[in-house]
Amino acid sequence: MPLETLEQILARAGAAVPGAQLSLVKNDSPCAQHSLAVDVEHAYAVAQFLRDDPQLRLDYCSNVTGVDYLDAELSEKVKVKKLVDGVEKEVEEVKKTQRAGYLEAVYHLYSMALKHGPVILRQRTPGRADPVRVTSLTPLWRSAEFQEREVFDLYGVLFDGHPDLRRILMWDGFKDYPMRKDYVEPDDYEYEPTPHDEVLARAKAHQAAQEVGA
Amino acid sequence: MDAPANRTVQSVGQGREGELLEVAMGPQHPSTHGVFRMDVVLDGETVVKLKPVFGYLHRNHEKIAENTSYLGSMPYTDRLDYFCSLSNNWAYALSVEKLAGLQVPERAEYIRLITAELTRVLNHTCLAGFLLQDMGALGTPLMYAFREREKILDLIESLTGARMMCNYMRFGGCRCDLPPGWLDEAKKVVAEYPKFLDEFDALLSGNEILMARTQGVGKLSAELAISAGITGPMLRASGVDYDLRKVDNYGIYSRYPFRVPLGDHGDVYDRYMIRMLEMRESLKILEPALNDIPDGPVVDPKAKLRGFRPKPGEAYGRIESPKGELGFHLISDGSPNPYRYRVRPPSLINLTILEDMCLGQTIADAVITLGSVDIVLGEVDR
């Protein structure tokens, strides 16, 4: 477990990296693993602080993953005072707010030296429209390299500063990002453009020319 | 006529010194333990560059899990690392229990510990066999290892009904209780196991050929191992003391004393030896645990199988699987399906530094270095 609370880490990180927009993301589940959201511009500096700070020493980045949130209508119940038949009453109303969708890169950080953790770091993008960019943390932790590639491959998040951002699980010619929530499956799963198509087309043209010649 | 002195003998390959050879090793190469490809650039026999290529077994496990119920993914976790399906089950059950705040009854905790340690023993036994197969000790060591593995698989089969695809754990416990007589059978297997380890050690661990072949090969420094997120026996072979059974104290591991073996050099030999020693430590846990197991229910009566909907929130749970840290990151939005389901695969992350370990060594050393990483492609590609 971390030596200090996430609020304290947030305050110290905010002081160490001026201008960083840090916020606490609450987690309602019983395990209460709250996380730290950071803006994309200052993510690298904040992550470097988390890694090098002698009290934290989060030298081990265990897990990197992406999360996709679609545009959503959030509804919450609010109690409002209203005049009903001339009498003021408290009535429950559903208040609706629009939330713009966003993508997220989540990092689970632990310390092997001090054996505590996790401190969870989230980078949120402003929107879902391509290109979606966040800052790569691979220069700080090697373990992020292949996992960030996977997030790019499946979610289409571009990591600025990544040394080798290529597809890793899907093939190179693949166009879409299959883990996004609005991904539509193709009609033909088997279709894959290959150089073989060109060869077939050439063979067809060749046969046609020969038939004309005969 | 030309003077003979001006003539030079032309032989095949002359004038090609210093040329690099690019080899695609795999995906159907016997030493790659499945469908995995290494794009290797060779200078003679020396590895100059090595790029791992994955994805041949990719079926987007995470997307499938997000489209099914929480329990629906349990049998599917068996297929991640198909040697250790009971460890995978436990890691997933542990994460869901963290997410939903479920408690596990005492007897189920014991069964989980016993099955997970049996799985660790059988995984390390197989790995030792495969590694020696990669070194060219064809057949015999592997068959010795498989003979012992079969005894543990029989135990697992009589408990879960399947040898490898167990689908045994449930949220808040286990699927069924131990069959009658199982504990005695297990005690017998555990009591006889050290004999096999002694035999294996006597034949191989001090073997001069094995030592010459593996010592100083595929070295990995502790700094790089930590930065690259290497976990499991590979990390400990590099001398870093980090075992989740000790660090996280999940389950009931804190009740049993055991040692964490550490390596000095981080080479292939250390990785082999760490696994041999870890098996002995696992047996030390198993022996008392099989005697201490209490009576009682094996599943939390409050845990719901049907209509299971955890409250919105998220959780990251991890265990020390035989390959390394196996973690599940789950996000719930209150619906019956997980909103986000992510597997942190130890095999994939342990593979990422393959190039660093192989550069400057021969291609034959790359093969045994890969063998010592201990990968299962079902987990790497997911």
pLDDT tens-digit series, residues B344-371: 999 889 888 888 888 888 988 888 898 8
pLDDT for the residue A3: 64
pLDDT for the residue B134: 85
Does the distance separating the beta carbons of B352 and A169 come in below 8 Å? Answer: no
Question: Which residue of chain A has the CA closest to B338?
Answer: A67
Q: Which residues of B are less than 8 Å from A186 in CB distance?
A: none
CATH of the domain at B195: 1.10.645.10
Does the distance separating the beta carbons of B310 and A179 come in below 8 Å? Answer: no
Tell me how long chain B is.
382
pLDDT tens-digit series, residues A15-38: 888 887 888 888 888 887 888 888
| Residue ranges in B172-267 assigned as alpha helix (H) | 182-200, 208-214, 222-227, 233-237, 244-247
pLDDT tens-digit series, residues A95-131: 788 888 888 999 999 988 888 878 899 998 888 887 8
- Interface A–B counts its CB contacts (< 8 A) at 104
Enumerate the domain spans of chain A. 6-68+102-184+192-213
On the CB side of B365, how many CA atoms lie within 13 Å of its CA?
26
Does the distance separating the beta carbons of A60 and B315 come in below 8 Å? Answer: no
Query: Token pair for residue B302?
Result: 């409050």
Q: Which residues contact A17 (CB under 8 A, 6 or more apart)?
A: A42, A45, A46, A49
Give the separation between CA B273 and CA A107, rounded to whole angstroms. 33
Has residue B250 been placed in a domain?
yes
CATH code 3.30.460.80 for A6-68+102-184+192-213? yes
Kindly report the nearest CA distance between residue B240 and chain A, in angstroms.
8
Q: Give the range of the structural domain holding residue B104, as residue numbers without chain letter.
A: 60-342+371-381
Task: Decide: residue A141, CB within 10 A, 0-12 exposed, 13-18 middle, 19+ buried.
Answer: buried
Asked if A70 contacts A181 with a C-beta cutoff of 8 angstroms, the reply is: yes
Q: Is the pLDDT of residue A169 over 90?
A: no
**To probe the interface with B, which of A111, A142, A184 has the most B CB atoms within 10 Å?**
A142
Give the separation between CA B354 and CA B359, rounded to whole angstroms. 9
Asked if B33 contacts B377 with a C-beta cutoff of 8 angstroms, the reply is: yes
Has residue B364 been placed in a domain?
no
Does the distance separating the beta carbons of B332 and A59 come in below 8 Å? Answer: no
Has residue B10 been placed in a domain?
no
What are the φ/ψ torsions at residue A89 (nearest 5 degrees)? -130, 160
> How big is chain A by its Cα radius of gyration, in Å?
25
pLDDT tens-digit series, residues B285-309: 999 999 989 988 888 877 777 778 8
Helices B182-200 + B106-135 axis angle, to 10: 30
Give the separation between CA B277 and CA B234, rounded to whole angstroms. 13
ipTM of the complex, rounded to two decimals: 0.84
pLDDT for the residue B301: 78
What mean pLDDT value characterizes chain B? 87
**Number of CB atoms found within 10 A of residue B323's CB:** 28
Question: How many domains does chain B contain in total?
Answer: 1
Does the distance separating the beta carbons of B229 and A143 come in below 8 Å? Answer: yes
Q: Would you place residue A11 in the very low, low, confident or very high pLDDT band (cuts 50, 70, 90)?
A: confident
**To probe the interface with A, which of B36, B223, B246, B329 has the most A CB atoms within 10 Å?**
B329
Give the separation between CA B123 and CA B346, rounded to whole angstroms. 14
**To probe the interface with B, which of A145, A146, A177 has the most B CB atoms within 10 Å?**
A146
| Residue ranges in chain A assigned as alpha helix (H) | 6-16, 43-52, 144-155, 195-213
pLDDT tens-digit series, residues B219-275: 889 999 999 989 999 999 999 999 999 888 888 898 998 999 998 888 999 999 999
Residue A58 CA, distance from chain mean position: 21
Question: Which residue of chain B has the CA closest to A179?
Answer: B63
Does the distance separating the beta carbons of A106 and B329 come in below 8 Å? Answer: yes
Q: Which of B62, B313, B327 sits opposite A29 (nearest CB)?
A: B313
Q: Which residues of A are less than 8 Å from B262 in CB distance?
A: none
Does the distance separating the beta carbons of B229 and A142 come in below 8 Å? Answer: yes
pLDDT for the residue A193: 64
Question: Which residue of chain B has the CA closest to A27?
Answer: B313
pLDDT for the residue B14: 63
Does the distance separating the beta carbons of A179 and B63 come in below 8 Å? Answer: yes
| Residue carrying structure tokens 């989230």 | A122
What are the φ/ψ torsions at residue B52 (nearest 5 degrees)? -75, 140
Does the distance separating the beta carbons of A60 and B229 come in below 8 Å? Answer: yes
Has residue B105 been placed in a domain?
yes
Question: Which residue of chain A has the CA closest to B311?
Answer: A29
Q: Which residues of A are less than 8 Å from B101 in CB distance?
A: 29-31
